[in-house]
Amino acid sequence: MFKYNKLGITGARKELRKKFLESEYDYMIMLDDDAKLVGTQEDAKTYLHQIEMHPGARYGVYKTYLLKLFAISKEMFKEIDYPEGDAENGDFFEDMYLIMALEKK
């Protein structure tokens, strides 16, 4: 667990990206803090199996333009970052920004 003073939405996303890139993990699965997972253990196994069955996949979108069960590889996240600006000020919507930037790549 990491504790910070207020980072803001964009600052928190940038820090999360940094921590992931420094980690030993190959993929990160994202959920919003207010997300509620509903399903069975079999559903979870099916979801994780999709990642395992597609080695080298760079990212996977579960819910269009939202980071709900969004998976991204470390390799892909090294190539993209959030822009300067602040989502809280309406400069951009960080979920949509990331997915649209990935689609362009």
In a domain, 1, yes or no: no
pTM across the whole model: 0.83
In a domain, 70, yes or no: yes
Q: What is the pLDDT along the chain (105 residues), one digit of tens a residue?
A: 888 998 888 888 999 999 999 999 999 999 887 888 899 999 999 999 988 888 778 998 888 888 889 999 999 999 998 888 887 788 888 888 888 899 888
In a domain, 61, yes or no: yes
Q: How many domains does the chain have?
A: 1
**53: three-class secondary structure by DSSP:** coil
pLDDT score recorded for residue 74: 94
Cα–Cα dist 29/48, whole Å: 10
Q: In the block, which residue shows the tokens 């919003």?
A: 32
In a domain, 57, yes or no: yes
Question: CB within 8 A of 65, min separation 6: which ones?
Answer: 95, 96, 99, 100
pLDDT score recorded for residue 97: 87
In a domain, 32, yes or no: yes
pLDDT score recorded for residue 45: 93
In a domain, 66, yes or no: yes
In a domain, 79, yes or no: yes
In a domain, 3, yes or no: no
Which is nearest to 77 in space by CA: 58, 96, 93, 94? 58
Q: E strand or H helix at 27, and its extent?
A: strand 27-30
Task: Give me the domain span that covers residue 16.
Answer: 8-104
